[in-house]
Structure 1
Amino acid sequence: MDRQARDWFKTALLGLALCGLLAGLILHFSGFERAARLCWTFGVVPVLAALIVEIVASLRRGEVGLDIIAALSMSAALLFGEALAASVVALMYSGGTFLEGFAEGRARREMRGLLERVPRTATRYREGKLEDVPLDALAPGDRLLIRQGDIAPVDGIVESRRALLDQSALTGESMPVSLAAGNEIMSGSTNAGEAFDMRATRRAQESTYAGIVRLVEEAQRSKAPMSRLADRYSLLFLFITVVLASGAWWFTGDPIRAVAVLVVATPCPLILAVPVALVAGLSRAAHYGVLIKGAKPLETMAQIKTIILDKTGTLTNGRPQIVSVDVRNGFKEDEVRYFAAALDQASKHPMAQAIVADARDRGTILPPPQETNEAAGEGVIGLVDGRRIVVGGPAFVMNSIAADPVTDRPMRTPGAAVVAVAVDGVLAGHLVMADTLRPGMRTFLDGLRRTGVERILLATGDRRDVAETVAHGLGLDAIRSELTPDQKVLLVLTEHKNGPVMMAGDGVNDAPALAAADIGVAMGARGAAASAEAADVVLLVDDLDRLLPGLEVAHGARRIALESVAAGIGLSVAGMVAAAVGYLTPVQGAVLQEVIDVAVILNALRALRIRPSGSLQAPH
């Protein structure tokens, strides 16, 4: 039976139980007692029959739950002439399952919205014409038209001069993002501006959005360890309930006491509260751009004691940036940046692309270079505005202008690279480039410690001096450098002695360590597919800060689940004792338990409103 059919069936059972109860009450107060009991029984039988079928199916799967108490209470109430109590229990049980389904449906609303955004077709350029094609027909290199309001169907790069994209469904960013030509586009982003062209870089099934959809579907099928724990505790609760009901009957000789105990104990908030709170937590985390692959990782996140961070692309930006400009021979800094960026448009080297991106971010209009000639991996020579420009490694540039390659080199920090720029045979200056630390990392790490994290380590394959330079002033507990992938795995396993371990990384080399950790976190925006597959948590935007609200949501959802369980079970046990000593009739006990169940479900739904301290704004 699919979800829609199950929801309809739950609604029908609730309707029958409600109609039977109301019709019986009307007949009861009209003096037709026998007809009233028949109506109450009529409302109970379909619910009891469906419950017995569910119990048999569960027993075949080796699962024992508190549904048995519900069946016992309805059966006992009918057997001993308490048809009204049985009717209230039937309404309570059917209403509880209906409310649980409603609550989970509300918690899954944002995830379902994500799934419903999957585009079905794309508009592709073909021989000078536009054609609508299914997504499976797209291939890397295809040029696509993205109209205003369209969703990017695959990952790609901007071909037009500018594109304005709404990425809120993916990242939680409430403001549209402006991307220049050559910038990467995540599939699933909505065009919030004028129509633009993009060039596909991945097939649809390999793109970001398709991966996110697969992860969401996997998350929705998961069952949390707390839910399994609740199943195990349900056996103990079932035993206590039967013993208490039997004891009340034995010592008083009144079977109605046993019926009252059973109806107070049915159904158990232990079963209802946990899945509702954790599914709500999954939805809330996705609201902030943190995709957690299920309720099990969500619960484990709330118990993390050690976090291991990769350096490149995780603690740092993962791409070179200009950190300083050293000018020579009377040239100005803007001139050095301008000539280097204009000429580097002709190169696909990552360093060249970073220089071009820096100029475009500054709003610089770059003329196309002419007569370019690139020496792979060394540098580029060409004309910009009629002037001969050379950009590349210091040795290449100095040899090109017949100067001493070992003189006039700037000071640089460990891990930095130097790009020399010459204009008309004269050294104009150097661009010092490095993979810089993400902004706000110290504040972020302090926030992690506030969530209960006791140890934070840096793990990298880079040299020791580079790692120490990057981590300076961050207050890390340890730095592990020059690590191979298997050594990162060993580090994760070693740290297990201090408690649950989280590993965050973005490269293929991080995938084994992510899989070995209790919780693996992948940078999903630009990270390798292997790391996203191995990870338990995927950050949908290239921003490690997103991890902090994810952890806070996990803590909040787990706390709310435990609060709901403790309060619900405590009230249920108190009600059972009161029923055993004769202070509650079966009808009163059934009404009391109904109130308890509704209260714990509503309390569990508070996880949908968790607002991390100082968190990013979620989309509205």
Structure 2
Amino acid sequence: MIAALRRHLETIVLIASGLVLAAGGVLAWAGDDAAARWMWIAGTLLGLAFALSATVEAARHRRPTVDIIAVLALAGALWVDEPLAGAIITLMLATGQVLEARADARARRELSLLAARAPRTARRVVGDGLVEVAVEEIGVGERLLVRPGEVVPVDGRLAADATLDESALTGEPEPVERPAGGDVRSGVVNAGGPLELVTTTTAQTSTYAALVRLVEAAQAASAPFVRAADRWAIAFVPLTLALAGGAWWVSGDPVRAVAVLVVATPCPLLLAAPIAIVSGLSRSARLGVVVKGGGALERLARARVAVFDKTGTLTRGRPQLADVVPADGGDPDVALRLAASLDQVSAHVLAGPIVEAALARGLALTMPDQAEEVHGHGVRGTVGGRRVRVGRPSWIAGPDPAPWARQVRRRADLDGSMSVMVEIDGEPAAALLLRDPIRPDAPRMVRALRAAGMDRIVLATGDRADVAHMVGRIVGVDAVLAECEPVDKLTALRREGERGPTLMVGDGINDAPALAAADVGVALAARGATASSEAADVVLTVDRIDALADAILVARRSRRIALQAVAVGMGLSLVAMGAAAAGLLPPTLGAALQEVIDLLAILIALRAVLPGRLHTVAIPEEDLRTLAALRVEHDGLAPLVERVAAVADGLSTQAPDLAPVLALRDALETDLLPHERADEELLVPLVARALGSHEAVAALSRTHAEIERQVARLRRLVDGLDPVPAPEDVVELRRLLYGLYAVLKLHNAQEDEGAFSLAPARVP
């Protein structure tokens, strides 16, 4: 009972003060002035006890507070026999406390949405049956069944295509389709039929558990909410006391001093600023950005220099298959199919991308037999009666690799790629090249940060200088610091801090020191949180870094509105204090006027609840569906694009084989060109509508035309070749194919950045 009263103390005081004030008014209207006076005295005493308890609590925590002014005003109202003024002040204080508590509770509800849905049990697949177990008992590599409507309990890899509701993590209401072999995060809801997955984390290290910890940290940081008034209390309290004392000394009338104290009750500070800041916390949470308290939100609003790590922030942080290089005479599709079949049971970080790439190419996978993970090397097993090993090149090729394997290693070094070797029946069969691609939304995010007021953007990474500078050039940063150890990032933050408040963005354990040292640390936790999330002030729970730019816009707008509310409210209060000191404003009228000023300041602050300008583009649902369908076609043509370079590589001036060229030409005309024409007809107008400018899509239209021109040139060249082409014709054919490949790669990057990045993120 006592605990419940404490939880609702502000509401109880508000109701009681309102009833007492109203009862006194009724009694005064009825002519019973004595009873009315006692009613208002009771209301004043209630407010005095309420304000005094807040002052004692602040003193106990050694925190400056303006509540002392309310205590003096209420005590002074009793002393000079102005109980009506005291009763009005009590109602004003109680109203403010209730509004602040409601705003704080609203922010907590936004932050607690994830924690409230945490799953407790899971269904483990055992033989031909299911066993329900606690999520804490789930290990890595187990098969789980998730029924329709249930929450996925731990991170895993899908055994078949699935339809998922990811709104709790991403905020996007539309269900998304995830392919077999794709990663699925805990916390999403199965929106389709029963799905099976192979676990890749435990419950304790899963995405959902990490996000729950982040919510708890954010709530701890924002409760109790440190009121913005505390920062101005040191200056405001002495000013008020000096003005009140001066009015009393000059006039000899203590009523003037009480009047000054009454109108000095600083509810614009007590209420307006917290309402605006808490509204910013709530709106940021809805964008998928958890800000750990009002202080972090204000520091985010003041940031002027951004320092980014590369891997997982400006890049995907998750490799994708870039190419399959077969051994002499090998079949790349066979090697990829067997490797992906074996990797279905592997929890290694490179296994998922290999499985996804095989499924994207339409390869039929089979479950392996006797699969065994060899720690630090790879995985081996039997697939369809064939012995397969997939893993490190040194494990497969040995200390003296074949010439093709050495060439693959050189190519991987030049491209900054990772290589995985495939062995079939004891013979090296192919090398799989994987690359961590740049996030399509990274360049847009950098431009959005500049538009939001960021003065300088720096890339600080431990990667090689050539790779780092390439990424920095593409996304558009101001400076690149490569081959950085954690201590080098700290040094860079101190140096950049001389230019203004710093913001550090990272997602790895090695980023935790820099995140803690920056004025604002921002961590990415869309695929699970690490030490970086614990050290950060701001955590992105969606797999879009451009959400950071929106969070900065929200933070700056909330801070700006808070300052506007404080400036208007306190400015009017200072004017009223001057009038009260001059004897122009009696205490009762001053209390009523202060209530009007408070309401005006609160109304100004409540503007922060309304949606403000964001850099994110709003796209209608019909256009989003069109964009998703074109994206599927776009991704499905990636192997055909790589095939252009592979065919060019295979051309030789000595006895050239034109059969691959003829097959490629037909595939380009039947598969690629129809897609590019559909892009011109559907994608280009869609993006122009979203961005509000046809100039923004002029480059896309130009490359569509160039692709069609190059394919037409290829047909004319091939049709005009002799059965045994001359060497110079082969050279020209190879040159044309390499040129077409370059145009296609550039065009795909343009579409990823300028068109498909406008859609909600697709977390693999």
TM-score higher than 0.5 here?
Answer: yes
Using the TM superposition, give the Cα deviation of residue 406 of structure 1 relative to its aligned residue in structure 2, in angstroms: 7.0
Q: Distance in 2 between the 1:256 and 1:304 partners?
A: 47
User: Deviations for 1:114-138, whole angstroms, at most 9, x for unmatched residues?
Assistant: 3322334444456765455444444
Aligned to 2:710: none
Aligned to 2:485: 484
User: Deviations for 1:459-485, whole angstroms, at most 9, x for unmatched residues?
Assistant: 222222222233333332222222222
Alignment gaps of 5+ in structure 1:
none
**Which shifted more, 224-233 or 113-122?**
224-233
**Which shifted more, 572-581 or 188-197?**
188-197
Question: Residues 466-505 of structure 1 correspond to what in structure 2 (within 5 A)?
Answer: 466-505=467-506
**Which shifted more, 172-181 or 15-24?**
172-181
Aligned to 2:271: 272
Q: Distance in 1 between the 2:66 and 2:405 partners?
A: 80
Question: Residues 94-493 of structure 1 correspond to what in structure 2 (within 5 A)?
Answer: 94-125=94-125, 130-141=130-141, 143-153=143-153, 155-222=154-221, 227=226, 230-323=229-322, 336-337=332-333, 339-347=335-343, 348=346, 350-351=349-350, 353-361=352-360, 364-368=363-367, 377=377, 405=404, 413-417=414-418, 432-493=433-494
Cα separation, partners in 2 of 1:458 and 1:220, compared to 1, 3 Å: same
Cα separation, partners in 2 of 1:489 and 1:4, compared to 1, 3 Å: farther
**Which shifted more, 350-359 or 122-131?**
122-131
Using the TM superposition, give the Cα deviation of residue 202 of structure 1 relative to its aligned residue in structure 2, in angstroms: 4.0
Cα separation, partners in 2 of 1:170 and 1:314, compared to 1, 3 Å: same
User: Deviations for 1:568-598, whole angstroms, at most 9, x for unmatched residues?
Assistant: 1111111111222233232221122112223
User: Deviations for 1:151-205, whole angstroms, at most 9, x for unmatched residues?
Assistant: 233x221454133222222222332233334433333222222232344444444
Residue 159 of structure 2 contacts residue 198 of structure 2 at CA under 8 Å; is this kept in 1?
Answer: no
Aligned to 1:594: 595
Aligned to 2:24: 24
Q: Distance in 1 between the 2:407 and 2:250 partners?
A: 99
Aligned to 1:74: 74
Q: Distance in 2 between the 1:133 and 1:398 partners?
A: 43
Q: Distance in 2 between the 1:487 and 1:566 partners?
A: 42
Cα separation, partners in 2 of 1:603 and 1:235, compared to 1, 3 Å: same
Q: Distance in 2 between the 1:388 and 1:120 partners?
A: 40
Cα separation, partners in 2 of 1:114 and 1:273, compared to 1, 3 Å: farther
Residue 338 of structure 1 contacts residue 366 of structure 1 at CA under 8 Å; is this kept in 2?
Answer: no
Letter matched to residue 415 of structure 2? P
SS class of match (1:521): strand
Using the TM superposition, give the Cα deviation of residue 294 of structure 1 relative to its aligned residue in structure 2, in angstroms: 2.2
SS class of match (2:434): strand
Residue 224 of structure 1 contacts residue 275 of structure 1 at CA under 8 Å; is this kept in 2?
Answer: no
Letter matched to residue 276 of structure 2? A
Residue 156 of structure 1 contacts residue 184 of structure 1 at CA under 8 Å; is this kept in 2?
Answer: yes
Using the TM superposition, give the Cα deviation of residue 367 of structure 1 relative to its aligned residue in structure 2, in angstroms: 4.4
**Which shifted more, 406-415 or 265-274?**
406-415
Aligned to 1:524: 525
Q: Distance in 1 between the 2:145 and 2:368 partners?
A: 27
Please give the TM-score of this superposition, normalised by the length of structure 2: 0.71
Residue 80 of structure 2 contacts residue 254 of structure 2 at CA under 8 Å; is this kept in 1?
Answer: yes
Aligned to 1:609: 610
Cα separation, partners in 2 of 1:196 and 1:357, compared to 1, 3 Å: same
Alignment gaps of 5+ in structure 2:
620-759
The number of residues matched between the two structures is: 612
Q: Distance in 2 between the 1:142 and 1:324 partners?
A: 30
Letter matched to residue 186 of structure 2? S
Aligned to 2:642: none
Q: Distance in 1 between the 2:9 and 2:322 partners?
A: 63
Name which structure has the greater RCO, CA cutoff 8 Å, separation 6+: 1
Residue 85 of structure 1 contacts residue 587 of structure 1 at CA under 8 Å; is this kept in 2?
Answer: yes
Q: Distance in 2 between the 1:322 and 1:501 partners?
A: 35
**Which shifted more, 107-116 or 84-93?**
107-116
Using the TM superposition, give the Cα deviation of residue 357 of structure 1 relative to its aligned residue in structure 2, in angstroms: 1.0
Q: Distance in 1 between the 2:222 and 2:107 partners?
A: 15
Cα separation, partners in 2 of 1:529 and 1:391, compared to 1, 3 Å: closer
Cα separation, partners in 2 of 1:420 and 1:259, compared to 1, 3 Å: closer
Letter matched to residue 252 of structure 1? S
Residue 301 of structure 2 contacts residue 555 of structure 2 at CA under 8 Å; is this kept in 1?
Answer: yes
SS class of match (2:8): helix
Using the TM superposition, give the Cα deviation of residue 287 of structure 1 relative to its aligned residue in structure 2, in angstroms: 0.9
User: Deviations for 1:537-588, whole angstroms, at most 9, x for unmatched residues?
Assistant: 2211333222211222221222122122111111111111122223323222
User: Deviations for 1:4-28, whole angstroms, at most 9, x for unmatched residues?
Assistant: 5434221121122111111111111
Q: Distance in 1 between the 2:323 and 2:505 partners?
A: 29
Q: Distance in 1 between the 2:206 and 2:503 partners?
A: 26
Cα separation, partners in 2 of 1:550 and 1:138, compared to 1, 3 Å: same
Letter matched to residue 599 of structure 1? L
Q: Distance in 2 between the 1:488 and 1:220 partners?
A: 29
Cα separation, partners in 2 of 1:51 and 1:127, compared to 1, 3 Å: farther
Aligned to 1:580: 581
Aligned to 2:706: none
SS class of match (2:503): strand
Residue 343 of structure 1 contacts residue 369 of structure 1 at CA under 8 Å; is this kept in 2?
Answer: no
**Which shifted more, 211-220 or 195-204?**
195-204
RMSD between aligned alpha carbons? 3.8
Please give the TM-score of this superposition, normalised by the length of structure 1: 0.86
Cα separation, partners in 2 of 1:136 and 1:88, compared to 1, 3 Å: same
**Which shifted more, 406-415 or 214-223?**
406-415
Cα separation, partners in 2 of 1:476 and 1:268, compared to 1, 3 Å: same
Using the TM superposition, give the Cα deviation of residue 226 of structure 1 relative to its aligned residue in structure 2, in angstroms: 11
User: Deviations for 1:321-372, whole angstroms, at most 9, x for unmatched residues?
Assistant: 23456799999xxx84465134332144655542321233456543457899
SS class of match (2:164): strand
Residue 47 of structure 2 contacts residue 87 of structure 2 at CA under 8 Å; is this kept in 1?
Answer: no
**Which shifted more, 2-11 or 160-169?**
2-11
Residue 373 of structure 1 contacts residue 381 of structure 1 at CA under 8 Å; is this kept in 2?
Answer: yes
Aligned to 1:6: 6
Between Structure 1 and Structure 2, the one with more helix by share is 2
Cα separation, partners in 2 of 1:22 and 1:378, compared to 1, 3 Å: closer
**Which shifted more, 130-139 or 304-313?**
130-139
Residue 161 of structure 1 contacts residue 180 of structure 1 at CA under 8 Å; is this kept in 2?
Answer: yes
Cα separation, partners in 2 of 1:414 and 1:126, compared to 1, 3 Å: closer
SS class of match (2:290): strand
Residue 373 of structure 1 contacts residue 382 of structure 1 at CA under 8 Å; is this kept in 2?
Answer: no
